[in-house]
Structure 1
Amino acid sequence: MAEVQIKKKRTFKKYTFRGVDLDQLLNLKTENLVELLGCRQRRHYARGIKRREENLLKRLRASKRAVDPNEPGAKPACVKTHLRSVIIIPEMVGAVVGIYNGKVFNQVEIKPEMIGYYLAEFSMSYKPVRHGRPGIGATHSSRFVPLK
């Protein structure tokens, strides 16, 4: 009894955001998209989109358009920004953003899983504290130990 197993073709997991797949998200109007977001993000959009945010979106669209579709693995040019409070929307997926953290611009490629988050969440502005061993002079007992 020789069993012949047919190898299934591997397929990528289809991304969905709150039950709506990515293709449909791209076609949604802003009002319908906002209904899918969390409360904080809905309040942000209820107050209106600022001119600076609109300019960032315009620059992201331009950088994505400038990419040659025939070239494999080509990514759009990085768009630098100080706007950390911008909410990631489906239109931004695939773009590369340089998010300023107060010191440097951290390059982040926008992925579908990032929709609904703020840009700031992907560029930490502080270095997490490492509670390790104390340094020289941190304790009274290290006062009498020669430095060399």
Structure 2
Amino acid sequence: MSDSEYRTGREGAFTYRGHDLEELQEMSLEEVAELLPARQRRTITRGLGPEYQKLLEEARDADPEETANDPIRTHLRDMPILPEFVDLTFAVYSGQEFERVEVQPEMIGHYLGEFQLTRTSVEHGQAGIGATRSSKFVPLK
């Protein structure tokens, strides 16, 4: 996302495409969809499925203090982050375990899965004996 899409002004107030957080939270889902990037806008205008509607309802009913201790668990990594999700904590499934994601205003317009990696970096050690034909010639110390 470029700086023109969201900014922190001189007084430190968050804005997303010319609207502050309070304005965004008061808008309807369709009005917010018009401000989102094309992929997220298409996801919302085509209609959210029942699982997505359920997650949206859970987020609307949730209290930020309660989700800090007991996050909202979800497998929906492709759910767009909406202004209603700000200050809530989600437990997003990474394929192995649920990892906590605390939604900040700067995350609006991204997907939940972007903030929970599914792959870890691999650090290889030395090849073991018999690993490959070329490892026969690696001196053993």
Given the two structures, how large is their TM-score scaled by the length of structure 1?
0.75
Aligned to 2:27: 28
Aligned to 2:6: none
Aligned to 2:40: 41
Question: 3-state SS of the aligned residue for 2:117?
Answer: coil
Q: 1-side partners of 2:108 and 2:69: how far apart?
A: 18
Which letter does structure 2 place at the counterpart of 1:109? E
Displacement, 1:63? 3.1
Given the two structures, how large is their TM-score scaled by the length of structure 2?
0.78
The question of whether the paired residues in 1 share the 8 Å contact of 2:79 and 2:111 is answered with: yes
Question: Structure 1 residues 12, 108: closer, same or farther in 2, change over 3 A?
Answer: farther
Question: 3-state SS of the aligned residue for 1:75?
Answer: helix
Q: Is the counterpart of residue 121 in structure 1 residue 120 in structure 2?
A: no
The question of whether the paired residues in 2 share the 8 Å contact of 1:75 and 1:95 is answered with: yes
Q: 1-side partners of 2:61 and 2:30: how far apart?
A: 23
The count of residues paired between Structure 1 and Structure 2 equals: 130
The percent identity for this pair of structures is 37
User: Structure 1 stretches (4+) deviating beyond 6 angstroms?
Assistant: none
CA RMSD, Structure 1 to Structure 2 (Å): 2.6
Displacement, 1:60? 2.4
Structure 1 unaligned spans of 5+: 1-10, 68-73
Which letter does structure 2 place at the counterpart of 1:59? E
Q: Is the counterpart of residue 52 in structure 1 residue 51 in structure 2?
A: yes
Displacement, 1:135? 3.0
Q: 2-side partners of 1:76 and 1:133: how far apart?
A: 39
Question: 3-state SS of the aligned residue for 2:62?
Answer: helix
